[in-house]
Amino acid sequence: MIEFVLEAMVDAVMMVDAEGRITLTNSGATHLSGYTREELCGLAISRLLVDESSGMRTVVRRRIEDGDVLRREESWLVSKKGERIPISITGSPVIDDRGTLQGIVLVARDVREMRQLLAEKEAEIRRRRALEDELRTAKSQIESQLDQTRTQLLLAERRATLGTLAGGVGHELRNIAQVQIAAVDELAAAISAGEDATSFARRILPELERVGDHIAEHGERLMQLARPGPDHVEPLDLNGVVRDVAAMLKLAGKLGRLAVQLALPDKPVTVTVNRTRIEQILVNLITNAVDAIGHEGRITVEVSPSVDERRIICSVRDTGAGIPESELDQIFEPFFTTKGDAGTGLGLTVVRDIVLSYGGRLDVRSVPGEGTTFTFDLPA
């Protein structure tokens, strides 16, 4: 009866007596080992099983004597031809009525196929890991290139702002120079007409002096714009910066026929920032307002301290086209522009970066068809 059960099993089954000799096997065992049933019978199990690492033989003695069922996933069977076949093995004790160990039933399973599968899977995992590593490296390279590009673009954006302002300063310089030239012409005319040049000169000298100061100031400003230098911060009156930027944009022809209305407090409002950075914010917000208005409309720049006077709030308001609600989230993204080739999509990205870097906030409110207000604040 028991033989039928044994034959029905695909695994190799071997009964071993207390001396470690095989007493009973099935065809699974003959298949796996290459020995005939006759050869197996009486063979010392130690010839068949090698399990140096775990000491199967020791375990056979020790653990199984204690009545344990033993299970090992990694063991070896040495076939008749001397081939080492990986197996998983289970051993259970055969104990008689008096509790004496009569032998062990060993069930061994050929795990070559499973190992092969496992090895293939592991190789696949290694391949994937290598691939992931490659992807990670490529990604970080791309990211650092993007970073570089971003830095370059931001620099280009800054240069464009500075160029606009420099253009305005240049125009202002020319206007001032024209005042000077006119005064000098008048003086020359008075002299050649034999008029009292001295009293005329005395009258226009203070004006010429003022003009000279003005020219020196603007020359200085041009040099600053040409070489912005490191971002050093200094206490500035925001009112003054707003006035300057509005005037320079006008002179640089960036406002078209529009005028920027200023709503500034009487007292100076001091913020400790880098001048060029604040100019960059204002230039970007005001030129966006100009673009949104087209021909007719109003741009208002308002400055006011917060109620607790700890922050300075500045808003740029226009009566332009407004921003559709669906675009409100996107306008701060780099390269988002609705102006086609005329836009860079960097203006608001830059504005937000600068405001955040000073611990400020930037807010937008817009009603399509009515206009838009950008508001930022800075620590006072």
Ligand X SMILES: Nc1ncnc2c1ncn2[C@@H]1O[C@H](COP(=O)(O)OP(=O)(O)O)[C@@H](O)[C@H]1O
Which CB sits closer to ligand X, 103 or 347? 347
- 10/108 Cα distance (integer angstroms): 10
Q: Does 224 bind ligand X (CB under 6 A)?
A: no
Which partner, ligand X, Mg ion, none, binds residue 200 by CB below 5 to 8 Å per kind?
none
Of the pair 172, 318, the CB lying nearest ligand X is at: 318
- Binder of ligand X out of 288, 301, 311, 312 (CB under 6 A): 288
Cβ 332 vs Cβ 348: under 8 Å: yes
Contact stretch for ligand X (CB under 6 A) within 48-56, 65-73, 240-248, 283-291: 283-291
Task: Kindly state the smallest distance separating residue 320's Cβ from Mg ion, in Å.
Answer: 12
In angstroms, what is the minimal distance from the CB of 149 to ligand X?
17
Give whichever of 6 and 348 is closer to Mg ion, judged by the CB atom: 348
Q: What pairing do the DSSP bridges indicate for beta strands 270-273 and 70-78?
A: unpaired
* Residue 336 engages ligand X in binding (rule: CB under 6 A): yes
- Choose among ligand X, Mg ion, none what residue 34 binds, the Cβ cut-off being 5 to 8 Å by kind: none
* Binding of ligand X by 305 (CB under 6 A): no
Burial 129-143 (b: 16+ CB within 10 A, else e): eeeeeeeeeeeeeee
Structure tokens at 71: 């299970």
C-beta closer to Mg ion: residue 40 or 286: 286
CA distance 64 to 77: 19
Between β-strands 260-263 and 299-305, what pairing exists: parallel, antiparallel or unpaired?
A: parallel
Cα 133 from Cα 128, distance rounded (Å): 8
303 forms beta bridges with: 314
Among 171, 338, 365, 380, binds ligand X (CB under 6 A): 338
Interface with ligand X by CB under 6 A: which range of 186-194, 231-239, 256-264, 288-296? 288-296
Least separation in angstroms between CB 312 and ligand X:
21
* Among candidate residues 239, 246, 253, 262, the one with its CA nearest the CA of residue 317: 262
Q: Is 238 helix (H, G, I), strand (E, B) or coil?
A: helix
Q: What is the nearest approach in angstroms of ligand X to the Cβ of residue 237?
A: 25
Q: Tell me phi and psi for residue 66, to 5 degrees.
A: -75, 0
Q: Report if residue 15 touches ligand X, rule: CB under 6 A.
A: no
Decide if residue 339 touches ligand X (CB under 6 A). Answer: yes
From ligand X, Mg ion, none, which one binds at residue 115 (CB under 5 to 8 Å depending on kind)?
none
Position among 48, 49, 111, 323 found at the interface with ligand X (CB under 6 A)? 323
Q: Which two tokens stand for residue 49?
A: 């099983």
Q: Which option in ligand X, Mg ion, none does residue 303 bind, with CB closer than 5 to 8 A by kind?
A: none
Q: Is residue 343 involved in binding ligand X (CB under 6 A)?
A: yes
CA gap 358, 230 in Å, rounded = 16
Spatial separation of the C-alpha atoms in residues 325 and 130, rounded to whole Å: 45
Give phi and psi for 12, each to the nearest 5. -80, 125
Q: Which one of 102, 337, 375, 380 is in contact with ligand X (CB under 6 A)?
A: 337
For Mg ion, the closer of residues 239 and 280 by Cβ is 280
Burial class of 367 by CB neighbour count within 10 A (0 to 12, 13 to 18, 19+): exposed
Q: How many residues bind ligand X (CB under 6 A)?
A: 22
Collect all residues with Cβ–Cβ distance below 8 Å to 116 and sequence separation of at least 6: none
Nearer to ligand X, 117 or 328 (CB): 328
**Which residues of this chain interact with Mg ion, rule CB under 5 A?**
288, 347
Distance from C-alpha of 277 to C-alpha of 24, rounded to nearest angstrom = 92
CB of 119 to ligand X, least distance (A): 56
| CA 307/CA 162 separation, integer angstroms | 33
Least CB distance from residue 287 to Mg ion, whole Å?
A: 6
The residue from 348, 354, 355, 362 that contacts ligand X (CB under 6 A) is 348
Q: Any contact of residue 299 with ligand X (CB under 6 A)?
A: no
The answer to whether 176 and 218 are in contact (CB under 8 A) is yes
- Our CB check for ligand X shows the closer of 33 and 372 to be 372
- Residue whose tokens read 């600053």: 224
Binding site for ligand X (CB under 6 A): 284, 288-289, 292, 318, 320-323, 331, 336-339, 343-349, 372
